[in-house]
Amino acid sequence: MFRATDMTWLAFLLREREVATIAALSALGNAAPQLGVHIEAGLNVGLTREEITEAILQMALHAGFPAALNGMSAAKAVFAAQDAAGVAGVDAAGPSVRRDTSN
């Protein structure tokens, strides 16, 4: 028997939860206001703009390009609003950590 008290909410870090939420909302294709809120939340918990756009772009394969394009529009709006407000995000000058893609 499964009980709610058996569940642990610590399996995912806040960053991972926001990536999952951003991906899910992007896949819906029609949740721009909610997606914007979670993109901001993702930035607040340490996601980079690159990580957020990657999560959205991955949904193009699963939910279709129109849904991903809607997600990218929402992300661009959040990024532009933060830039206009002078909000310094995790990667205001670009991602600080780059993956090694040489192999």
Token digits for 65? 């390009």
pLDDT for position 97: 41
Please report, for the chain, the start and end positions of each structural domain, with discontinuous segments joined by +: 12-85
- Domain 12-85 indexed as CATH 1.20.1290.10: yes
Give the whole-angstrom CA distance, residue 54 versus residue 8. Answer: 27
pLDDT tens digits, 3-60: 666 666 666 789 999 999 999 999 999 999 999 999 999 999 999 999 999 999 999 9
pLDDT for position 10: 67
φ, ψ at 21 (rounded to 5°): -70, -45
Which residue would you say has higher pLDDT here, 11 or 82? 82
Q: ∠ CA(81), CA(95), CA(28), 5° rounding?
A: 55
Asked if 66 and 32 touch (Cβ cutoff 8 Å), the reply is: no
For the whole prediction, is pTM greater than 0.95?
no
